[in-house]
């Protein structure tokens, strides 16, 4: 966690309209994604943010803390959205589709953070790494529970463990940063829908499968 609470506090404000911590995070996210965390010096970050080193160390405990804050922001946002989709009304497959499509879109909307995410996790201090993993696990578990719910209800095939489906899906999502280019011809929305379609197609019950929970009524 960062040294000083960031947010709507008057502290750290500048004429530019954004706070010093925000500008540091924005610069760090861009540079870490472009060059990698280790190839970016603290000096690079503070220069890009237009502040001095001392200022950075006033708001962040360390370079690692800066990195962790990037993870925290992205995770918090995506976890919240997933929780919203999970709690929404409507048939489960539609909610899962919406959630799966949405995480693709938010990953693209925060592409720098996404790139950093999978690439630099191992560089976090142990403590930060543990915290990020725990949060990520909660996220995955919520997603998995949606799949399991569908498997129990017979909406989804249940011969592939929900955990595998989850990790398979997020593997693809995490890799977005390595190839997606905003100037390509595919929009984030289209891509999200393709990905979500693939997920749900993979979960469709097998044509000839029988005897799965909740399917009996269909046979009538």
Partner DNA sequence: AATGAATGAGTGTTCATTCAT
Partner DNA sequence: TATGAATGAACACTCATTCAT
| CB burial of residue 126 (10 Å; 0-12, 13-18, 19+) | exposed
- Which CB sits closer to a copy of itself, 51 or 147? 147
Q: Figure out which of the listed residues 179, 183, 208, 220 binds a copy of itself, where binding follows CB under 8 A.
A: 179
73 lies in the binding site for DNA (CB under 7 A):
no
- Residue 187 is given by DSSP the state -
Instruction: Spell out, one character per residue from 8 to 37, where the chain touches DNA: x when CB under 7 A holds, - when not.
Output: --xxx-x-----x-----------------
Long-range contacts of the stretch 109-112 (C-beta < 8 A, 24+):
109/188, 110/74, 110/77, 111/33, 111/176, 111/177, 111/180, 111/182, 112/29, 112/30, 112/32, 112/33, 112/34, 112/177
64 binds DNA per the rule CB under 7 A: yes
Q: Is 129 in the site for DNA (CB under 7 A)?
A: no
97 binds a copy of itself (CB under 8 A): no
SS3 92: helix
Return d(Cα 168, Cα 74) in angstroms, integer: 20
Closer residue to DNA (CB): 127 or 218? 127
Binding track, positions 163-202, relative to DNA; x by CB under 7 A? ----------------------------------------
Residue 168 interacts with a copy of itself (CB under 8 A): yes or no: yes
The residue range among 59-67, 95-103, 164-172, 181-189 that interacts with DNA, by the rule CB under 7 A, is 59-67
User: Between residues 83 and 198, which has the closer beta carbon with respect to a copy of itself?
Assistant: 198
Binds a copy of itself (CB under 8 A): choice among 42, 92, 123, 142 = 123
CA dihedral 21, 188, 169, 34 (to 10 degrees): -40
- State the first-to-last Cα distance of the chain, in angstroms, to the nearest integer: 57
The C-alpha angle with vertex 43 and arms to 39 and 45, in degrees rounded to 5, equals 75
Q: Where along the sequence are the contacts to a copy of itself (CB under 8 A)?
A: 35-36, 38-39, 118-119, 121-123, 157, 160-161, 164-165, 167-176, 178-179, 191, 194-195, 197-199, 201-204, 206-207
């Amino acid at each position: 966690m960062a040294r000083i609470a960031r947010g709507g506090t008057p502290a750290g404000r500048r004429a530019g309209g954004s706070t010093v911590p925000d500008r540091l995070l924005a610069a760090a996210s861009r540079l870490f994604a472009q060059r990698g965390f280790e190839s970016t010096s603290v000096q690079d970050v503070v220069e890009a943010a237009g502040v001095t080193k001392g200022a950075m160390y006033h708001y962040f405990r360390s370079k690692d803390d800066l990195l962790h804050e990037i993870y925290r922001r992205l995770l918090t946002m995506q976890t919240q959205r997933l929780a919203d989709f999970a709690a929404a009304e409507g048939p489960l497959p539609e909610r899962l589709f919406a959630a799966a499509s949405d995480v693709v879109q938010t990953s693209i909307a925060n592409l720098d953070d996404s790139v950093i995410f999978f690439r630099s996790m191992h560089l976090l201090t142990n403590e930060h790494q543990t915290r990020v993993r725990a949060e990520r696990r909660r996220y995955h578990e919520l997603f998995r529970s949606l799949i399991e719910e569908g498997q129990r209800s017979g909406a989804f095939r249940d011969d592939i463990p929900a955990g595998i489906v989850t990790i398979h899906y997020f593997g693809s999502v995490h890799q977005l940063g390595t190839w997606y280019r905003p100037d390509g011809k595919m929009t984030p929305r289209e891509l999200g829908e393709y990905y979500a379609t693939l997920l749900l197609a993979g979960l469709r019950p097998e044509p000839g499968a029988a005897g799965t929970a909740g399917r009996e009524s269909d046979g009538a």
